[in-house]
Structure 1
């Protein structure tokens, strides 16, 4: 669905994106992660033909971008850097204008498309208030509705849950999951690790303009070779396992062991009471912290 080769973007002496080789496959729920300023939004804008690359190649839906972007865009829904709406107009009017101006729009069934998109994002009951009176979360929902007007094959979303409360975030995640099941490929840029971990099947990590990591989430969250065990018989387990317990927090033990089932059988056979036992996996936070080295939020003082 998306392939880039050696993709680079420079602004004067600043290189925002460096030699990126992105691969988003059909059916993916792809999460693009990275610190603020790592190049995520610039990369997305190049995929949509909004910014021209300094060097490299882009294919979206099998077609070169930006050369054939007019053929690509009718099949792509996008929300980048917040919804670009007319603040003095109501939301429904904005969507009508958006639909009319976009490629492939048709007047005959426009009202149906707009109503359907508003209902899917939870805005079916909006009144005639102007968009400037909307909350940030409502504006995000409206931008997502605009992205869904054409039943896209590919959704490209930059921070789509920005401004939403926890229930709203869950609703949008459920909607994206439903769209993906119906055949829509999703590329989602976010700094919310929990949302990426809950929704995405594949992950890319940006750092200082480079794509430093790209793999299936399941592969990245590989087992650590440890087992986490909750038991009221913690002292007995420590004695039984003879140095294999690496950490203890009350009745929670971290045990060095490759096979949770074998450890469970060993302890149950010894009469140990087990509340919970599971193999430990790397968290997405650990994966990202190991892959990245920068943070745009830090301001270091000068060395005296």
Structure 2
């Protein structure tokens, strides 16, 4: 995994409300080319909203997003179309198309389609109609569609959902390999332990606020035994007001 000098993504003072509910509160973060970044927080923290804003799929109330130095919004997202691959919430799958036909919607390169099918081990079912796919098969297809063009930035929302342990291990290896080739990843999860083996940097978010952004090296150096982040706004169990606790070995 390589940390380049160029800023792949820069988010500044991003705000978003749905009705009277504030979803994003002055969100600021940036990361560089070749990094694998984990966007971590409890369900409902604002992770998916941030990712949709990065893709120009959602109008925000204030702030700005830049990818490779170019502005991204619902009106200006050419850079996203050309250089970003994404899986947000769940794969957009047409039940009567085969997996191979889905990949053909993303690229005309048979070589790239063959590559992604092989690395994700989808050969046995890639020519079946997607309506016959299991949850894990659909998830792999969504990941394949995000990766098939080898974009410069890949955004994955809870990519491990529905995958068996071997597929999770294989995906982690693939992400590490592609990051080593200079592809940047932003991966969301509500569980840091799913990501800590592959990410370079963690961005911790709760209730629309970025609580910290640190490299995994910094986390391990500053918290040899445990990292505890607390807020006064959320309860988990009884009187405990700690929304997130993660032990780092």
The match for 2:212 is 213
Q: 2:230 aligns with which of 287, 290, 293?
A: 290
The CA distance in 2 between the partners of 1:123 and 1:58, in whole Å, is: 35
Instruction: Tell me the residue number matched to 2:28.
Output: 21
Task: Tell me, in whole angstroms, the C-alpha distance in 2 between the residues paired with 1:36 and 1:299.
Answer: 19
Q: CA deviation at 1:124?
A: 2.6
Q: Secondary structure at the match of 1:74?
A: helix
Q: Indicate the structure (1 or 2) with the bigger Cα radius of gyration.
A: 1
Alignment RMSD: 2.1
Q: TM-score, normalised by structure 2?
A: 0.86
Report which stretch shifted further, 44-53 or 117-126: 117-126
Q: Distance in 1 between matches of 2:232 and 2:46?
A: 13
SS in 2 for 1:3: strand
Deviation by residue 1:170-217 (Cα, 9 ceiling, x = unmatched): 110001000001110111101232221111110001101111111111
Check if 1:75 corresponds to 2:74.
no
Counterpart CA distance in 1 for 2:237 and 2:89 is 22
Greater than 4 Å deviation, 4+ residue runs = 297-300
**Structure 1 residue runs without a partner (length 5+):** 100-104, 225-280
| Equivalent in the alignment of 1:33 | 40
Count matched residues.
231
Q: 1:54 aligns with which of 61, 80, 92?
A: 61
Is the CA contact (8 Å cut-off) linking 2:72 and 2:79 kept in structure 1? Answer: no
Q: Is the 8 A contact 2:15 2:25 kept in 1?
A: yes
Q: Tell me what 2:4 maps to.
A: none
Unaligned runs of 5+ in 2: 1-7, 240-249
TM normalised by structure 1 equals: 0.71
Aligned to 1:276: none
Rate the CA distance shift 1:208–1:163 in 2: closer, same or farther, 3 A: same
